[in-house]
Amino acid sequence: GAKSSTQIHTHMCYCEFEDCMDAIDRLDTDVNSIENARSDDATLKAFQDIGYGKGLGPGTYDIHSPVVPPTDFISSKIRSFLACMQKEHLFINPDCGLKTRGWPETIDALRNMVTATKAIRAEIAVASC
């Protein structure tokens, strides 16, 4: 088995999460990355409704779209996540995998996601001073 210091991540995409929230909550994982970009945060809210207390990575952008999300769009998504959950439980990631995208758009989108994440972290640091 894994050492207790090993952080266990899982990923779930595109299902009716509300139908199996109790089972998801019982999973022996530390972080659950979930599809969220296409659900208008409904997936995130389903986790909030059950009081999910583990790490959660709601997708910041839809990787099935060839559009590279602007940094401002991703920053807005992160702010909406922070309105629903504690910052200590938030993990920033794109929706699902990136296998449907080409390298140039993947790199640009991930670069924007990292830039947005750093900007939000800086905002949080300033706000807590």
> Which residues participate in catalysis according to the annotation?
64
DSSP 8-state class, residue 38:
G
DSSP 8-state class, residue 89:
G
Burial of 24 (0-12, 13-18, 19+ CB in 10 A): buried
| C-alpha to C-alpha distance for 111 and 15, rounded to whole angstroms | 28
Please check whether residue 59 is in contact with residue 33, taking contact to mean a CB–CB distance below 8 angstroms.
yes
| C-alpha to C-alpha distance for 114 and 117, rounded to whole angstroms | 5
Element containing residue 56 per DSSP (H, E):
strand 55-58
